[in-house]
Amino acid sequence: MDFGLRQNDVMNMSRLILASASKSRADLLRGSGLEIEVIPAHLDEEIIKAEKLSVVETALKLSKAKAAFISKQYPDGLVIGADQMMECEGVRFDKPDSLEKAKEQLQFLRGKTHRLISAVGLVKNGETLWSHHQMAELEMRNFSDGFLEDYLKQVGDDVTTTVGGYRLEEIGVQLFDRIEGDYFTILGLPLLAVLDFLRKQDMIEI
């Protein structure tokens, strides 16, 4: 029996836009039955990151800024902006820009617990309608240097596409001993909260 959303179960929205280049986020939204357009926001994130806000405040501000950036170009659309940040022992991490940087990052995280903060902001016609964040804690196991080398060889440059240097839905799950938190949040989008908001706004069927 199919309990998934059928195409005609999704109410007609003027336009639903994801202001992110993340394939994982797009897949999550489309997998839930939503029709979306993907229009990444290209803005200078370093300006916001330099404001010395808390990691939660930074993620929220970035998610809303991305949505607002695209909303200016498409005021008729409901724009979803999202951001994910990672913190471990007071150190914040960005996506590694090379395999060597990813290796150093994973060596630092090995045997430790880090936090992932996923934030989302929904903007229409320049107005922020809703914002939200969720956190997850992940404890990496004390894997061997040999395992790390094999892992990096297998994932290749894909390791530079996520803030943590791993995809939990793939071989990256083998890096961990313990995970606490919402699965979708770890993938980069608090999906259940987004769907709940859309239902409350009568944008999708209850």
- Is residue 206 in a domain? no
Per-residue model confidence as pLDDT tens digits over 24-71: 999 999 999 999 999 999 999 999 999 999 999 999 999 999 999 999
What's the mean pLDDT when you consider all of the chain?
91
In a domain, residue 39? The reply is: yes
Of the pLDDT bands very low, low, confident and very high (cuts 50, 70, 90), residue 206 is low
Reference 59, options 23, 97, 20, 33; nearest CA is: 20
- Contact between 30 and 88 under an 8 Å Cβ cutoff? The reply is no
Residue 11's pLDDT is: 39
> Residue 147: inside a domain, yes or no?
yes
Tokens coding 206 = 């209850």
Q: Tell me which of 64 and 206 has the higher pLDDT.
A: 64
Per-residue pLDDT at 129 exceeds 70:
yes
pTM over 0.75: yes
Q: In 3D, which of 198, 81, 92 has the Cα closest to residue 133?
A: 81
Please tell me the total count of domains within the chain. 1
In a domain? residue 86 = yes
Question: Residue range 128-135: average pLDDT?
Answer: 98
Task: Assess contact for 77 and 18: CB atoms under 8 A.
Answer: no
In a domain, 154, yes or no: yes
What the block records as the tokens of 75 is 């005021």
What pLDDT sits at residue 7? 39
Residue 205 lies in a domain: no
* Cα–Cα distance for residue pair 55/127, rounded to 1 Å: 23
Asked if pLDDT for residue 6 goes beyond 70, the answer is no
Task: For residue 201, name the pLDDT band (cuts at 50, 70, 90).
Answer: confident
Among all residues, which ones are annotated catalytic? 83
pLDDT in tens, 110-124: 999 999 999 999 999
The reported pLDDT for the residue numbered 14 is: 63
pLDDT category of residue 8 using cuts at 50, 70 and 90: very low
Identity of residue 146? G
- pLDDT, position 9: 40
> What is the percent of the chain where pLDDT is above 90?
84
Q: Any idea what the CATH number is for the domain that residue 45 is in?
A: 3.90.950.10
What is the rounded average pLDDT of the residues 194-199?
Answer: 96
Residues 6+ apart with CB under 8 A from 67: 19, 41, 79, 80, 81, 121, 122, 123, 128
Q: Is residue 18 part of a domain?
A: yes
Give the structural domain span for 76: 7-200
Helix (H) or strand (E) holding 56: helix 55-73
**Is residue 114 in a domain?**
yes
Q: Is the pLDDT higher at 46 or at 1?
A: 46
